[in-house]
Each structure stands twice: as C-alpha cells, then as structure tokens.
C-alpha cells in the first residue's frame, strides 16, 4: 500500500455545476439575441449618428467591469473570513472575466470618443476611472501569478481585492475634484435619453451581466478541475514562511 505525499483531495462538487452553466448559457443566448435586435432597431442619435450605437457595447462593458471587481473583492473578503478556497476560485474568475470587459470598455470608449468629440482620449473622471480600474485588475492578476503557494496567493489576492475596493471611490473623487473637466456625457445615466434608447441599454446591461455570470461559472469550473489534479510546483517551497 502506497500513499503519495500529494494526495489529490476530493473537493465537494460546487453548487455551480453543469446544470447552472447550461441555464446561464441559455439565458445568455436569449438576452444577447434580444439585445442585438434592440441595438439594431434603436433610432439613430440625431447629433452623433451611427457611432453612438457603440455605446450600447461600451456602457454594459463598463458595468460588467465594475461588477466583476465587486465580485472579486467580496469573494476575497469571504475567503479571508471563512478560509474556504472555493471563494478564492470565484474571486480569480471574477477578476479574469472582469478584466476582459474592462479592456473592451477601454477599447470601445476611445472609438466612440474619436467618433464624436474627435479626440481618442480625455481625462474625464469616468474614462480615467476605467483606466485606473484596469490597472488595479492587472496588478491583482500579476500579484497572483508571481506569488508562490496557493494559500499565500489566495490570501494576498484577497487583501489586494479588498484594498482595491477602497481605492476605487478615492480615485474617483480625486479625479472628479482635482482632475480635468468632465467631458463624459451625463445623459447616459438617465433622463435625457432619446425615445427608444433606454431599452437597448437595459438589455445590454443584462446581457453583459449574464455573459459575466456564464464566463465566471466556466472559469470556476476550470479552477476546480485544476485543483483536483496534482500540483505543478511543490507548494511547500513557500511553506517555510520566507
């Protein structure tokens, strides 16, 4: 009888199993179709023309980017509290999916900006905030990949995620109070949206969140399967607390 030093642990199947993924995939497909139709059918903005439609992608991305970070931070807190590595898996999933949406938002934003104001970039609060968020995401992911030992990685990442949550409002107010003039169109929020423009935005937000949910579920499952296999580098390398 031989027992190996590295015993593959049998983790309990997380609640996000195949069933949940199928449901989220279906919901995503429906939502996406609806959103695509609404974007197509939406009236052209009288001032900006066709380029305004890219906002139907940009705003939901921005939404998902922040939601992703909130998820990462909250799961980080839960991990520190409960010491259950499943929370850390959701946290890393949230970060990896969130950074994709953040990147998408950073790409679509300037495209729209160039089309409407003629500048690729502006240092207004919202765009700058998205950039700062992007940097926080990257720092989070780099921290994870350069830390050795999954326990230490999870702990450091959780701490950074929570700290990042504090950085977001501070950065926002700093830029708003002391930064450049605001050029972001405030009418994106509510109120002066033109007739028939509210629905595509709503559908977009829902689609983005569903996409995020689905991708997070996929990523968590991937992480779970990785954890069930053997380690790639010996974790005890970091065990002597250096």
Q: Which residues bind other proteins (CB under 8 A)?
A: 2-3, 5-9, 80, 83, 132, 135-136, 138-139, 142-143, 146-152, 155-156, 158-160, 162-164, 166-167, 170-171, 173-175, 177-179, 227, 229-231, 234-236, 238-242
Residue number, 195 or 240, with CB nearest to other proteins: 240
CB of 110 to other proteins, least distance (A): 20
Per-residue CA distances from 170 to 125, 140, 208 (Å): 12, 18, 26
Name the minimum Å distance from CB 30 to other proteins. 37
Nearer to other proteins, 20 or 183 (CB): 183
CB neighbour class for 147 (10 Å; exposed up to 12, middle 13-18, buried from 19): middle
| Residues 118 and 109 sit within 8 Å (Cβ to Cβ) | no
What span, in angstroms and rounded, lies between the C-alpha atoms of 167 and 174?
A: 10
Phi, psi of 45 (to 5 degrees): -65, 135
SS3 of 37-71: HHHHHCCCECCCEHHHHHHHHHHHHHHHHHHHHHH
**Complex with other proteins: residue 195 or 229, whichever CB lies closer:** 229
CB 94 within 8 A of CB 71: yes
Residue nearer to other proteins on the CB measure, 20 or 167: 167
Minimum gap (Å) between residue 8 Cβ and other proteins: 7
Query: Residues 60, 204: contact at Cβ < 8 Å?
Result: yes
Taking the complex as a whole, the smallest distance from the CB of residue 107 to other proteins amounts, in Å, to 20
**CB nearer to other proteins: pick between 178 and 191:** 178
Nearer to other proteins, 48 or 238 (CB): 238
Minimum CB separation from other proteins for residue 172, in Å? 9
At its nearest, how many Å lie between other proteins and the CB of residue 111? 24
Residues 94 and 216: beta-carbon distance below 8 Å:
yes
């Amino acid at each position: 009888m031989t027992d190996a030093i590295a015993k593959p642990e049998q983790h309990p199947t997380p609640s996000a199993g195949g069933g949940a993924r199928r449901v989220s995939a279906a919901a995503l497909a429906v939502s996406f179709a609806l959103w695509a139709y609404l974007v197509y059918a939406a009236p052209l903005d009288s001032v900006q023309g066709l380029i305004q439609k890219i906002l139907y992608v940009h705003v939901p991305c921005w939404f998902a980017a922040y939601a992703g970070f909130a998820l990462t931070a909250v799961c980080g807190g839960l991990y520190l509290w409960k010491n259950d590595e499943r929370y850390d898996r959701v946290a890393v999933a949230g970060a990896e999916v969130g950074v994709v949406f953040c990147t998408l938002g950073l790409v679509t934003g300037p495209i729209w900006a160039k089309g409407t104001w003629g500048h690729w970039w502006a240092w207004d609060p919202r765009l700058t905030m998205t950039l700062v968020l992007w940097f926080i995401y990257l720092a989070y992911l780099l921290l994870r990949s350069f830390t050795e030992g999954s326990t230490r990685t999870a702990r450091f990442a959780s701490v950074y995620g929570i700290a990042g949550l504090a950085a977001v409002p501070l950065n926002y107010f700093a830029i708003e109070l002391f930064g450049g003039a605001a050029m972001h169109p405030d009418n994106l929020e509510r109120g002066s949206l033109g007739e028939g423009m509210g629905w595509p935005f709503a559908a977009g937000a829902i689609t983005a969140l569903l996409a995020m949910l689905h991708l997070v579920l996929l990523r968590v499952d991937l992480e779970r399967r990785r954890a069930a296999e053997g380690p790639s580098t010996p974790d005890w390398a970091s065990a002597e607390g250096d």
